Amino acid sequence: MSTAKRIPVLGLTGGIGSGKSTALAYLHELGAATISSDDIVHELYSSARVIDPIRERFGDAVVDGAGGISRPALAGIVFADEAELRWLEDLLHPFVRDAVAGWVENQQKASPRPAIIVVEVPLLFETGFDQRFDFIMLITAPDDVRRKRVAAKLTDSEFRRRRAQQMPEEEKVRRSDFVFRNAGSRKKLKEFVGQTVATILAGDVQAVGDGAQETPA
């Protein structure tokens, strides 16, 4: 009996305000099975195995009315203190990795089969998660564009602090297979996503890392 060919797995990443969530939506439209690690974390914040240690460390101030973790309250603490952020990441990341691994395995066995499997991971390189994917897509954008996109959520100082806690964009570009500089055109972003999927499915990826196939906005 023949064995079904393994479905390629793409890791999608990008800094805050880059447009990676829009790229994820376009990938889904193209028939990809998609998941966001942020959604996994959101579910974990309702789980006792995560709530209990967070509550023990930070107190009731980070617990919402339903007994889960208040993400805004927790963010206000950890993004102002790098040591606390590292502690939280060390707690969450093993759970996220296990959840992603299980989900990808299920998608490989799914019927009907997706064209491609995509996992969005904001801190993909920072956590060493990039080693788990066949290909990496990076959505990047100039700082001024990114600041405008998140202006309703973050102050300028909060944006700068979060950006400083992430790997420099230049290093992410060097380590990615497909790079799109997203200065604002959704049409071009959608075209890039479609071209990337077609290239992967055709087995036509020529280079990785320093030879990344980079597309400007």
Q: Is the pLDDT of residue 172 over 70?
A: yes
Determine, yes or no, domain membership for 159: yes
Neighbours of 143 (CB within 10 A): 13
Say how far apart CA 40 and CA 42 lie, in whole Å: 5
Compute the mean pLDDT over every residue in the chain, rounded to the nearest whole number: 87
Residue 211: the pLDDT is 34
Determine, yes or no, domain membership for 81: no
Task: Assign 45 to helix, strand or coil.
Answer: coil
Determine, yes or no, domain membership for 84: no
Neighbours of 58 (CB within 10 A): 18
Residue 205: the pLDDT is 63
Regarding predicted confidence, which is higher, 216 or 116? 116
Determine, yes or no, domain membership for 121: yes
Residue 169: the pLDDT is 86
Determine, yes or no, domain membership for 109: yes
Give the pLDDT band of residue 3 (cuts 50, 70, 90).
low
Q: Is the pLDDT of residue 160 over 90?
A: no
Say how far apart CA 156 and CA 138 lie, in whole Å: 23
CA-CA-CA-CA dihedral for 178, 180, 185, 186, to nearest 10: 40
Residue 127: the pLDDT is 87
Closest to 77 in 3D by CA, of 67, 93, 65, 63: 63
Determine, yes or no, domain membership for 122: yes
Determine, yes or no, domain membership for 88: no
Q: What is the CATH number of the domain that holds 205?
A: 3.40.50.300
Say how far apart CA 76 and CA 124 lie, in whole Å: 22
Say how far apart CA 197 and CA 7 lie, in whole Å: 12
Give the pLDDT band of residue 212 (cuts 50, 70, 90).
very low
What digits encode the pLDDT tens for the residues 56-93?
Answer: 999 999 999 889 999 999 998 998 888 999 999 999 99
Say how far apart CA 217 and CA 211 lie, in whole Å: 18
CA distances from 200 to 35, 136, 137, 162 (A): 19, 11, 11, 32
Residue 208: the pLDDT is 38
Choice among 38-47, 137-146, 207-216 with the minimum mean pLDDT: 207-216
Residues paired with residue 55 on neighbouring β-strands, in sequence order: none
Say how far apart CA 189 and CA 195 lie, in whole Å: 10
pTM summary value: 0.86
Give the pLDDT band of residue 183 (cuts 50, 70, 90).
confident
Residue 194: the pLDDT is 95
Say how far apart CA 53 and CA 95 lie, in whole Å: 13
Q: What is the mean pLDDT of residues 122-134?
A: 91
Q: Domains in the chain: how many in total?
A: 1
Determine, yes or no, domain membership for 76: no
* Residues of the domain holding 196: 9-45+104-215
Give the pLDDT band of residue 213 (cuts 50, 70, 90).
very low
